Structure 1
Amino acid sequence: MMLTIVLGIIGCSNDDTTSQNATASNAPTTQNDDMAKPAKALVTFSYFNAARPGKDVNTNETTIGKKLEEQTGVNFKIEHLVGDINTKIGVMIASGDYPDVLIPDSAMDKVLDAGAFIPLNELLKKHAPNIMKLYGPYLDMMKAKDGNIYHIPFEAAQGYMPDPNPTSGFWIQRGVLKEFGYPTITTLDEYFDIIKRYKEKHPQINGKDTIGFETLTHDWRFFTLTNPPMHLAGYPNDGGVIVDMKTHEAQYYGDDEITKRYLKKLNEANNQGFFDKESLVANYDQYLAKISSGRVLGMFDYAWQFQPASQSLLKEGDDDRRYIALPIVFDKGTKDQYLDPPTFVQNRGIGITVKAKDPVRIIEYFDNMVTEENQKLINWGIKGETYEVDANGKFTRSPEQIKKTSDPNFQKQFGIDIYGYLWPMMGNFSVFADGNPKNPNLQPSVVEQGYTDGDKAILSAYHAKVFSDLFSPPDERKWYPAWSAGIGKGTPEDIFVQKTVDLQRKYFPKMILASTADFWSLWDEYIKEFNKLDAKTYENTITRIVKDRINGKW
């Protein structure tokens, strides 16, 4: 799920890690030099990625893919989604014309209902010892109701190292904080107040009107408007619910006081002239363009969504126009929970279809990928080229290597945009048996070297070493995230979610744009319509799933 992190991940070579891995009892087994040579003829399998757009490519056209082909004799021809996902998957199902490997993303239920994936249980037992070891704690969670495993989720955690750079929060331009002496901002009232004061002092930026606060409502990204209330109340991103830490009861918050409170604040911001009305009808590209312009003072978002704009601002070199995430809550004393605890998302993954020419070789390729030596290759790179090892065995990167591995062209040539996600792999916050993090962007020495002078200046102003120092550590939530519950299409719970989103799309913009007096009547009208929906069934289902997960039943 995190594009900011994924774009920074580059891998490492086989040469220096084999002996370490061979002695690691908690790590997937590795291959020796003889095993690294393919014993079978070269073969190419088709791989369709419906999760995101991209350039179609053969894996062996990249550095990582070529090395994996040398080990296994396998290449994948990757095709990416163009157009609507449901239309594309629907055509596949109607025709029965499937690729060898398929990532259906949000259309997973449709693919499973169509019987497009083969069961993987026996293949995993007989041909995938490394996957079985890495995914061992999660195997029961991966099973469908019939007891079969039909797809492999994209990540399985092995240890945990927190992210030094938060990926969610209420973002604010650094120049706003600088203007007022880097104050400590913790509440929503304080956040909007400082934005309002800055906009009044600087009505234009770069010759255009300053935008106080921006949101995103386009298509499926509507959650950018609906998610903030749970964060402001001190909860992490569990989706449409907040889960009580003591009772483990799930409560849908779309009709709750916290949602009303957030919408009322946006209504006030709009009536005071610093909420961007256009953001309620703008598309995603327009949203990115506004942020890239440097005119937007603040927004709530997840870093991966506005990563292209962040990169553009970094390239411009004006640090005052770049953003920092703040752990904003409604009330002082509320413990923020923006940083994610360890997660396992089982309702997304990669599957082998009924049309696959050789499922054994495909699963063997996946199994080879998750060895520690290849996870280091994929995520750190090649020793002496993309990383170094210090006297204490810690992986690090020079400034030149950081610059090199951050170059989008290098990432494509090396294969990180292909292999950084959407395959079986160690979780993003995992730790290798030698103590090094899987993700280079979690290594303190790499993180600190990657900071610009502007990064260091604002960290110094807030007496922090890394940006996550501003946030509270995450509490353990064994069920997290609740949004991965995998509610079946067409179920009462699914219908509730769809009708709720439709209702919110109708009323939330009206409430934000209304006069102060009209806000209350619109909220009452919204609640009247909401009460016609079956929220209780949805809440009971999520509560049951949460409690089952706590008891080890997925």
Structure 2
Amino acid sequence: MVKKSLIFCMAAVMAFTLAGCAGGKNGNNGSGGQASPSGGASASGASSPSASEKPLDKVTFTYFNGVAGAKDINTNETTIGKILEDQTGVNFKIEHLVGDLNTKIGTMIASNEYPDVLIPDAAIEEVLNAGGFIALDDLIEKYGPNIKRVYGQYFNQMRAADGKIYFIPFSSVVNQFYPDPDINQGAFWVQRRVLKEAGYPKIKTLDEYFKLIEDFVAKHKDEDLTGFIALTHDWRFFTTANPPMHLEGYPNDGNVIVDMNTLEAKTYAAADSTKRWLQKLNELNAKGLFDKASFVDNYDQYIAKLSSKKVVGYFDYGWQVALANNVLKDAARADPTQDDYVYFPLPVTFDGGKDQYLDPPGFVKNRGIGITVSAKNPERIIQYFDNLLKEENQVLRSWGIKGETYEVNEQGRFYRTAEQIAKIDEKFNDKFGFTYYDWDWPQYGTNSTFADGNAVAPNFQPEVFQMRLTDGDKEILGKYGVKTYSEMFSPPDDRPWFPAWGIPKEQGSPQQIWETKKEELTKKYFPKLVLAKPDEFEKVWQEYLGQFGKLDTAGYEKWYTEQIKAVVESLKK
């Protein structure tokens, strides 16, 4: 499973990387040309309120984000949010998840009282079925020329079963697809000092990776190190469940791996690959190298441990561990001796063959932002969304202000000076608003370009990426003969359906029920399998298989195969 990506897509990225989202077959905006930079007109001739017009009376809307990790804030307390408020008169009071997502969303549904704007994350189907979102079609037609420009090619995929659009996905690739030079998707990470001490070996297999960790911990017994840690908290359990597909050489399609030739979807939760992965963790645990608290720690505790410099290695998605990685990188910029504690991503597979950690172009359509039935003035909200999608405001939310957070050379290329890069740390990101406008809004996808060819994401711009590299970055990349982290990984193969986990499933459907029961089983048995005595592992695995065999996995795989083939066929038309 995933998040931002895309949890950019955060990530991705969820990456969010959670993650980039695909444009047309040619990687542009789907029309064969570039998107209009002004966004001032649409097929209907509608236009958004201009930033130069007198703003309307100021209003504050409530906004709940079903993802934990950031502090609550008013958008107008940030530089970006204040500029957007000056343009539109709109401020958002953002509240983030504390506690259990399903409990929080369930309370909203039971009371039929919602914030004005809602991101229910993994509980989005529950909100849809409860009628918590209003339909956006008429609002987009009247007030959304830029929404049409950016998302229009995907409107049919965004429609619910009744043919209406109830939420806007977080991003869509506009213009050309720009590859990420960094790693915001999956990887096996290890402290740089481990590779340095071992002479910078080329680690390609899981056995090599764990041997590297074991040897390092053995040599540093006085440091009280944790060899390997995992994340299992709440919906983030996928971080521990997903590695088998990556170790087999597949990208993050969720609960299935998809054959490139036949398009057949197969689950792997009870496959030999998952057994092999869990048995490795079991071996680590028996050697005292696995953090048993991985099965009880929450996300904040996990991030704190990664930031502590005591954890040698882990698997995760770059977008999900950005908070910890940025803390370590900021420390290394301030004091180069701390560079040893920064994590380095490795494209590990079972057999050392071709990896597929890097996401291909895709469109995540089962996550997004919606306006609820409690909203008093949805027109103002949709106008804010549309205004945000103007190209000049997409420059603002990603690059900032010319002369303050970026510059433009004579060729029109965006870049940042060393001084600007140095000041843009986590604290600055929070105050300026980069943190709060990085994801969770309608926006150009991370892998997009502007109409003039500049990368939407500053760190994707070659000039900026190279400038951001510290001497430590350059040294370790040089040891591996590359200039970017992504060069360590295999290029992604084109997968028109990607990501499969983004294919919507109706609440209460056989597919949704299968996923719920599967998750219950994995959350129950994976801890048992990892923490069992090695000679009892097989017994517990057989017990798990017996329970898993009661699920209608064949029906789930058949449905997914049909959906994937339908997507591929639709793109041929």
TM-score, normalised via structure 2 length: 0.88
Question: Could you say which residue in structure 2 is the equivalent of 1:66?
Answer: 82
| 8 A contact 2:37–2:450 mirrored in 1 | no
Alignment partner for residue 390 of structure 1, among 403, 406, 409? Answer: 409
Q: Do structure 1's residue 445 and structure 2's residue 460 form an aligned pair? A: no
Long gaps (5+) in structure 1: 10-23
Question: Could you say which residue in structure 2 is the equivalent of 1:526?
Answer: 544
The number of residue pairs the alignment matches comes to: 535
Q: Do structure 1's residue 142 and structure 2's residue 162 form an aligned pair? A: no
Question: Could you say which residue in structure 2 is the equivalent of 1:20?
Answer: none
| 8 A contact 1:44–1:77 mirrored in 2 | no
Identity of aligned residues (%): 53
Give the deviation of 1:33 after TM superposition: 13
Q: Do structure 1's residue 85 and structure 2's residue 101 form an aligned pair? A: yes
Question: Could you say which residue in structure 2 is the equivalent of 1:26?
Answer: 35
Question: Could you say which residue in structure 2 is the equivalent of 1:102?
Answer: 118
| 8 A contact 1:163–1:468 mirrored in 2 | yes
RMSD (Å), alpha carbons: 2.5
Alignment partner for residue 322 of structure 1, among 332, 342, 348? Answer: 342
Q: Do structure 1's residue 501 and structure 2's residue 516 form an aligned pair? A: no
The within-5 A match list for 1:144-183 is 144-158=160-174, 159-167=176-184, 168-183=186-201
Question: Could you say which residue in structure 2 is the equivalent of 1:473?
Answer: 491
Q: Do structure 1's residue 362 and structure 2's residue 381 form an aligned pair? A: yes
C-alpha distance in structure 1 between counterparts of 2:359 and 2:132, whole Å = 33
Give the deviation of 1:186 after TM superposition: 0.5
Give the deviation of 1:129 after TM superposition: 1.2
| Aligned partner of residue 473 in structure 2, secondary structure | helix
The within-5 A match list for 1:377-416 is 377-406=396-425, 408-416=426-434
Give the deviation of 1:241 after TM superposition: 0.9
Structure 1, residues 327-350: CA drift from partner, whole Å, max 9, x if none?
001113x21011111121111111
| Aligned partner of residue 552 in structure 1, secondary structure | helix
| Aligned partner of residue 376 in structure 2, secondary structure | coil
| 8 A contact 1:153–1:424 mirrored in 2 | yes
C-alpha distance in structure 2 between counterparts of 1:78 and 1:513, whole Å = 40
Question: Could you say which residue in structure 1 is the equivalent of 2:24?
Answer: none
C-alpha distance in structure 1 between counterparts of 2:328 and 2:85, whole Å = 38
Indicate the larger mover: 450-459 or 485-494: 485-494
Give the deviation of 1:485 after TM superposition: 1.9
Give the deviation of 1:445 after TM superposition: 1.2
| 8 A contact 2:122–2:367 mirrored in 1 | yes
Give the deviation of 1:63 after TM superposition: 1.9
Do the aligned partners of residues 354 and 210 (structure 1) sit closer, same or farther apart at CA in structure 2, a change above 3 Å counting? closer
| Aligned partner of residue 135 in structure 1, secondary structure | helix
| Aligned partner of residue 364 in structure 1, secondary structure | helix
Question: Could you say which residue in structure 2 is the equivalent of 1:258?
Answer: 273
C-alpha distance in structure 2 between counterparts of 1:444 and 1:544, whole Å = 40
**Counterpart of 1:161 in structure 2: which amino acid?**
Y
Do the aligned partners of residues 265 and 474 (structure 1) sit closer, same or farther apart at CA in structure 2, a change above 3 Å counting? same
| Aligned partner of residue 367 in structure 1, secondary structure | helix
Do the aligned partners of residues 515 and 353 (structure 1) sit closer, same or farther apart at CA in structure 2, a change above 3 Å counting? closer
Do the aligned partners of residues 244 and 213 (structure 1) sit closer, same or farther apart at CA in structure 2, a change above 3 Å counting? same
| 8 A contact 1:28–1:370 mirrored in 2 | no
Question: Could you say which residue in structure 1 is the equivalent of 2:57?
Answer: 42
| 8 A contact 2:360–2:493 mirrored in 1 | yes
Give the deviation of 1:430 after TM superposition: 0.5
Long gaps (5+) in structure 2: 18-32, 41-46
C-alpha distance in structure 2 between counterparts of 1:365 and 1:437, whole Å = 23
| 8 A contact 1:117–1:354 mirrored in 2 | yes
Do the aligned partners of residues 294 and 80 (structure 1) sit closer, same or farther apart at CA in structure 2, a change above 3 Å counting? closer
Greater relative contact order (CA < 8 Å, ≥ 6 in sequence): 1
TM-score, normalised via structure 1 length: 0.91
| Aligned partner of residue 273 in structure 2, secondary structure | helix
C-alpha distance in structure 1 between counterparts of 2:358 and 2:299, whole Å = 25
| 8 A contact 1:28–1:133 mirrored in 2 | no
Alignment partner for residue 114 of structure 1, among 115, 127, 130? Answer: 130
Question: Could you say which residue in structure 2 is the equivalent of 1:371?
Answer: 390
| 8 A contact 1:28–1:130 mirrored in 2 | no
C-alpha distance in structure 2 between counterparts of 1:351 and 1:279, whole Å = 33
Do the aligned partners of residues 549 and 65 (structure 1) sit closer, same or farther apart at CA in structure 2, a change above 3 Å counting? same
| 8 A contact 2:48–2:387 mirrored in 1 | no
Q: Do structure 1's residue 353 and structure 2's residue 369 form an aligned pair? A: no
Question: Could you say which residue in structure 2 is the equivalent of 1:540?
Answer: 558
Structure 1, residues 144-194: CA drift from partner, whole Å, max 9, x if none?
111111111110111211111112211111111111211111011111122
Indicate the larger mover: 481-490 or 310-319: 310-319
| Aligned partner of residue 267 in structure 1, secondary structure | helix
Question: Could you say which residue in structure 2 is the equivalent of 1:423?
Answer: 441
Structure 1, residues 310-359: CA drift from partner, whole Å, max 9, x if none?
23333164222221010001113x21011111121111111122333333
| Aligned partner of residue 570 in structure 2, secondary structure | coil
| 8 A contact 1:102–1:351 mirrored in 2 | yes
C-alpha distance in structure 2 between counterparts of 1:507 and 1:46, whole Å = 43
| 8 A contact 1:28–1:134 mirrored in 2 | no
| 8 A contact 1:38–1:72 mirrored in 2 | no
Do the aligned partners of residues 350 and 506 (structure 1) sit closer, same or farther apart at CA in structure 2, a change above 3 Å counting? closer
